[in-house]
Amino acid sequence: MTDVLDPAVQPTTTATDETWWRQASVYQIYPRSFADADGDGIGDLRGVTAKVPYLTSLGVEAVWLSPFYPSALADGGYDVDDYRDVDPRLGTLDDFDAMVTALHDTGIRVIVDVVPNHTSDRHEWFREALASPKGSPARDRYVFRDGTGPSGQDAPADWISIFGGPAWTAVGDGQWYLHSFAKEQPDLNWANREVRDDFLTTLRFWSDRGVDGFRIDVAHGLAKDLPAGDLPTWAEVSALPKDGTHPLWDRDEVHEIYAEWRRVFEEYTPARTAVAEAWVPADRRARYASAEGLGQAFNFDLLEADFDAGSFRTIIEFNLGLAEQSGSSTTWVFSNHDVVRHATRYALPPRSGDAEHAPTTEKQGSAWLLAGGSQDDLDRDLGLRRARAATLLELALPGSAYLYQGEELGLHEVGDIPDSDRQDPAYFRNPGVDVGRDGCRVPIPWTREGSSFGFGPDGAHLPQPAWFADSSVEAEDTDPDSTLNLYRAALRLRRTLQSEEHLEWLETGRDDVLAFRRPNGWTSVTVFGDEPYRLPRGELLLASAPVADGVLTGVGTAWLRP
Ligand code: GLC
């Protein structure tokens, strides 16, 4: 291994204040499950501040905080009561300011989540809408419709919400409101000027407090166009093309909203950044990432892919092409708070049957959860070995890498949460079909022992399994081969090695081996299969698996330079 500050490898580009986001490593904090300073079993902002030294030693360039706003937690905080405050269980605005200062002092940028598709049903606007008559300005902020049947007792349409169950809920006076997610998350009407203005106020509110960027939840859902008369059936809606004209998703005019937001971002120096969560066909992603819009969009293609060299290469080439089209940089994600952790997805038994119609690894992960989520069904070591290889590959790619808390510990999904402890609405709204996303939201282990493995002075809001002890920060901190120390080394090296946003593929002589070189010579080689592979000549900088006499011993990634 090498001295990472050796001047022989000079970065060919240096991120500036304006371009920091283009190739940043961004660490997602799910605040309620990160660190609990006050001992109520729920993580909080003072907990994050206390862990700034940990984040610094990890070497990430930015953190993204999932919602910490006042919320009944009908959807883990994505049901927001007030966009410009902190949930009292998580702290105060002063705590928020102190956290931002502590992060900024060590050079870590801060991204916060904005949830514009829906408020919570406790938001003052929704309360006002319920207290106001049909046709009132208060109702116009949401998507209300008359029910069908003589007294409006039947839903306006048979639409299904994303978490399962009906997407329309009655309010008792013959009217119903639309909720694309849980019934506690009424969809906003973005044709309403007041709604638009209020979000501009929210963007300025957090920007004024020093926030560097925003992650935009369900960015493709805001613009809607429902026909005036009878609504189409769900079967009809679902069959409509997703080409910018769909009544609910990814409508072209959503970008008018983001053009306004861009003007707000540009009021600040450096300009505030944004990344869109937009589940849209890949060829429509570039619109969200445009410089006149949000500037960057998540690319979930690797997250949905098998651990397979051919699939990875196709996805990487395609997304680098998209980034060129939009002028943005691409983003890479393997895990987040919505999916089964990648160490676990890669630990599932091989799928049988027709590859073309087989479920994605992400869907396969959900099926494993539904079947009981037993750790015994997993090849835990293989899953972790693949996950480490995938991460090292990710961190060598051009673009930003979004990492999810706990993946740096190689954490597996907690699959067997008792039903009585579950929190996710996807579980409650979809009985027998979906067990939800709680398994990746279990508070992370800091110590080997203690009532909540060091998460806080008392318990944790979701049960932690005994095997968390060996994956705790304490257990991994001093082990040179731990996943934590692999991430630390990789994130540090990456900052030194970062290069122009290009790569060149190298011939490897094997279908299951991918190798690419960045313009400054930084080379990454990934072996997807079990056979050992002789690495190309060069100086070995880091490897996710043992290298003996220049040979990578099966699944793994190695970084080299000439
Ligand atoms: C996004 C979030 C998810 C949430 C949903 C509704 O997909 O990532 O956690 O449930 O939006 O807000």
Residues 334, 339, 343, 344: is their CA dihedral positive or negative? negative
Picking from 23, 60, 9, the residue whose alpha carbon sits closest to that of residue 501 is 23
Nearest atom within ligand 1 for CA of residue 180: 6
Q: Which residue, by CA, sits nearest to atom 3 of ligand 1?
A: 338
Q: Stretch 312-328: mean pLDDT, rounded?
A: 95
Whether 11 has a pLDDT exceeding 60, the answer reads no
Looking up tokens 């120390």 gives 485
- Token code pair at residue 199: 């979000």
Q: Stretch 444-471: mean pLDDT, rounded?
A: 97
Can you give the pLDDT at residue 497?
96
Q: Stretch 88-109: mean pLDDT, rounded?
A: 98
124-178 carries CATH number 3.90.400.10: yes
Nearest atom within ligand 1 for CA of residue 337: 9
- Token code pair at residue 75: 């959807």
Ligand 1: centre distance to CA 489 (Å): 32
Strand partners, 169: 177
At a CB cut-off of 8 Å and minimum separation 6, what does 20 contact?
A: 61, 62, 109, 212, 270
Can you give the pLDDT at residue 45?
98
Any ligand 1 atom below 6 A from CB of 404: no
Can you give the pLDDT at residue 225?
97
- Token code pair at residue 202: 């929210």
Can you give the pLDDT at residue 363?
82
Identify which has the larger pLDDT, 229 or 361.
229
Any ligand 1 atom below 6 A from CB of 113: no
Can you give the pLDDT at residue 357?
63
Q: Stretch 440-459: mean pLDDT, rounded?
A: 97
Q: What is the CATH number of domain 20-117+193-493?
A: 3.20.20.80
- Token code pair at residue 312: 């990875």
Mutate to test the pocket of ligand 1, among 78, 180, 333 (most ligand atoms within 8 A of CB): 78
Mutate to test the pocket of ligand 1, among 30, 75, 83, 429 (most ligand atoms within 8 A of CB): 75
Q: Which residue, by CA, sits nearest to atom 7 of ligand 1?
A: 218
8-state DSSP, 280: -
Element (H, E) at 116: none
Which member of 6, 17, 197, 267 is catalytic? 267
Residue 482 — pLDDT band, cuts 50, 70, 90? very high
Share of the chain above pLDDT 90, in %: 91
User: pTM for the full model?
Assistant: 0.96
8-state DSSP, 407: G
How far from 476 is each of 205, 402, 481, CA to CA, in Å? 39, 21, 8
**Chain mean pLDDT for the chain:** 95
Can you give the pLDDT at residue 356?
61
- Token code pair at residue 334: 């393997």
Can you give the pLDDT at residue 28?
99
Q: Stretch 261-288: mean pLDDT, rounded?
A: 96
Can you give the pLDDT at residue 93?
98
384 backbone dihedrals φ, ψ, rounded to 5°:
-70, -40
Element (H, E) at 29: strand 25-29
| Residue at 400: amino acid letter | S
Residue 7 — pLDDT band, cuts 50, 70, 90? very low
Can you give the pLDDT at residue 12?
38
Whether 544 has a pLDDT exceeding 80, the answer reads yes
Any ligand 1 atom below 6 A from CB of 78: yes
Picking from 26, 37, 8, 99, the residue whose alpha carbon sits closest to that of residue 457 is 37
Strand partners, 134: none
pLDDT 10s digits, 38-86 = 999 999 999 999 999 999 999 999 999 999 999 999 999 999 999 999 9
Are 545 and 388 in contact, with CB atoms under 8 Å apart?
yes
Tell me how crowded residue 398 is: count the other CB atoms within 10 A of its CB. 22
Can you give the pLDDT at residue 2?
37
Nearest atom within ligand 1 for CA of residue 336: 8
26-65 b/e with 16+ CB inside 10 Å = b? bbbbbbbbbbbbbeebbbbbbbbbbbbebbebbbbbbbbb
Residue 5 — pLDDT band, cuts 50, 70, 90? very low
194 assigned to active site: no
Can you give the pLDDT at residue 377?
93
Any ligand 1 atom below 6 A from CB of 181: yes
Mutate to test the pocket of ligand 1, among 30, 121, 180, 181 (most ligand atoms within 8 A of CB): 181
Whether 549 has a pLDDT exceeding 70, the answer reads yes
217 assigned to active site: yes
Measured CA to CA, the distance from residue 3 to residue 378 in angstroms comes to: 37
pLDDT 10s digits, 327-341 = 999 999 999 999 999
Kindly report the length of the chain: 562
CATH-assigned architecture of domain 503-561: Sandwich (2.60)
Identify which has the larger pLDDT, 3 or 343.
343
Q: Stretch 227-237: mean pLDDT, rounded?
A: 96
Whether 354 has a pLDDT exceeding 90, the answer reads no
Q: Stretch 363-392: mean pLDDT, rounded?
A: 94
Strand partners, 177: 144, 169
Residues 537, 540, 544, 546: is their CA dihedral positive or negative? positive
Whether 495 has a pLDDT exceeding 50, the answer reads yes
Domain ranges of the chain: 20-117+193-493, 124-178, 503-561
